[in-house]
Amino acid sequence: MEVLMGDDVAKQSERPRPGDPTDPRPAHVPVMLDRVLEVLAPALSEPGAVVVDGTLGLGGHSEALLCAHPGLRLVGVDRDTTALERSAQRLAPFADRIDLVHAIYSDIPSALDGLGIDRVHGVLLDLGVSSPQLDEADRGFAYSYDAPLDMRMDRTQPRTAAEVVNTYSAGELSRILKVYGEERFASRVAAAIVRERTKARLDSTRALAELVRDAIPAATRRTGGNPAKRTFQALRIEVNAELTILERTLPAAIGRLALGGRIAVLSYHSLEDRLTKRALAALSTDTTPQDLPVPLPDRQPELRLLTRGSEQPSEHENERNPRAASARFRAAERIREP
């Protein structure tokens, strides 16, 4: 785990020139920003408040939080070293109030321990793949570009999508596509992959996207967007162990919230949202046995839900930022110590 302290951030603060394609600012539109700010504000207005952005990305949410709360300290965590470099540029004006950490967001407790921080007042998790990961062809996340099959959020890690596609059995591939991609034709796609790789190794996003398209019945291909979408989602989740890590992250992050602290989560597909819903619901429920006449103090809820179900972006935001369309937002506040 690498921690980039305030002075280190300042050293990386040379801004790209206007129009430089490496400048993260012009194209990055944080999802549901106003709602995130609104939900976290009561907790972050506390003197000495600390917030963790567990999925820092290009730092759009973090920048807005730091601007809105001049006394706020921010810990930004990301597994993508490129994202950390670019967010360091964006957040350079706040270098004395931020610490950036190269880590998976399930390591939030370790990151906080390393910084000498016990409790925090806010946690933000903006899940899924980030805009630069989608937009940069060589990252291999998108079926709209021809690129190496990579899909690693952390390029220091060894496993790539090409390894999954070329080494997993048909059964393993089918399970991944069905569970992580919710692909109706998982078995057909898996069988097509195994057949194709006997002829030549599958290393290209375009080759995989075309193979998936051909494996899915023509009648089904006419609706629902690009037929490769579900396969690419499933491979990305497998390569980055996203759901396994999220399952560990939610209780770990909630466990570091101070009394009155708040957690906000943005999910982008039903699997993420389901895990988030389950984790927040489990801690917002009175678990006193039903046959007891009075509630037990140690079985009272630790959290209070701040959203009714999952909230979605407005139509206006979806028009302005189409990538927000699939977002689902949930939030909760700690009301009792565990």
Those residues whose C-beta lies under 8 Å from the C-beta of residue 252, and which sit 6 or more positions away, are: 106, 108, 109
Q: What is the pTM of this model?
A: 0.86
Convert the pLDDT of each residue in 67-83 to its tens digit: 999 999 999 999 988 88
Asked if residue 330 lies in contact with residue 323, where contact means CB atoms within 8 angstroms, the answer is: no
Residue 105: DSSP 8-state: G
Asked if residue 147 lies in contact with residue 138, where contact means CB atoms within 8 angstroms, the answer is: yes
Architecture of domain 137-240: Orthogonal Bundle (1.10)
Asked if residue 237 lies in contact with residue 243, where contact means CB atoms within 8 angstroms, the answer is: yes
Q: What fold does the segment set 2-126+243-334 form as a domain?
A: Rossmann fold (3.40.50)
Residue linked to tokens 């980039």: 4
Those residues whose C-beta lies under 8 Å from the C-beta of residue 214, and which sit 6 or more positions away, are: 192
Would you state the pLDDT for residue 16? 40
Q: How far apart are CA 83 and CA 191, in angstroms?
A: 36
- 133: burial class by Cβ within 10 Å (0-12, 13-18, 19+)? buried
Q: What is the CA radius of gyration of the chain?
A: 21
Stretch 35-46: mean pLDDT? 96
Those residues whose C-beta lies under 8 Å from the C-beta of residue 247, and which sit 6 or more positions away, are: 275, 279
User: Is a pLDDT exceeding 60 seen at residue 96?
Assistant: yes
DSSP H or E segment with residue 108: helix 108-114
Asked if residue 87 lies in contact with residue 76, where contact means CB atoms within 8 angstroms, the answer is: yes
DSSP H or E segment with residue 41: helix 33-44
Would you state the pLDDT for residue 297? 81
Q: How far apart are CA 135 and CA 141, in angstroms?
A: 8
User: Which positions make up the binding site for S-adenosyl-L-methionine?
Assistant: 59-61, 78, 105, 126, 133
For the chain, what's the residue count? 338
Strands 73-78 and 98-102: parallel
Measured torsion, CA atoms of residues 234, 237, 243, 244, in degrees rounded to the nearest 10: 120
User: Which positions make up the binding site?
Assistant: 59-61, 78, 105, 126, 133
Model confidence band, residue 3 (pLDDT cutoffs 50, 70, 90): low
Give the start-to-end residue ranges of the domains of the chain.
2-126+243-334, 137-240
Would you state the pLDDT for residue 144? 72
Convert the pLDDT of each residue in 197-208 to its tens digit: 999 999 999 999
